[in-house]
């Protein structure tokens, strides 16, 4: 499982997808989220601005990413 390290208290879902190179752009992030293709902690998430904190797990396109503080 990949990890994304937080630099602040949280990261927004769309930003996390871009930072992990799971999508090419913010527009693509919006599309895949609105289409219900992204899960956070096992549940489909439709909010691009969803705040992710340490311990959250993102699932998209067969990839899993853990949000971590270290």
Residues 1-40: tens digit of each pLDDT: 999 999 999 999 999 999 999 999 999 999 999 999 999 9
Q: Where are the domains of the chain?
A: 2-68
Residues 34-60: tens digit of each pLDDT: 999 999 999 999 999 999 999 999 999
Domain 2-68 matching CATH 3.40.50.300: the answer reads no
| 70: pLDDT strictly greater than 90 | no
Closest CA to 60 of 6, 5, 2: 2
């Amino acid at each position: 499982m990949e990890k994304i390290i937080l630099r602040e208290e949280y990261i927004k879902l769309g930003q996390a997808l871009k930072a992990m190179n799971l999508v090419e752009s913010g527009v693509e992030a919006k599309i895949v989220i609105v289409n219900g293709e992204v899960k956070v902690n096992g549940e489909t998430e439709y909010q691009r601005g969803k705040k992710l904190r340490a311990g959250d797990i993102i699932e998209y396109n067969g990839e899993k990413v853990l949000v971590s503080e270290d």
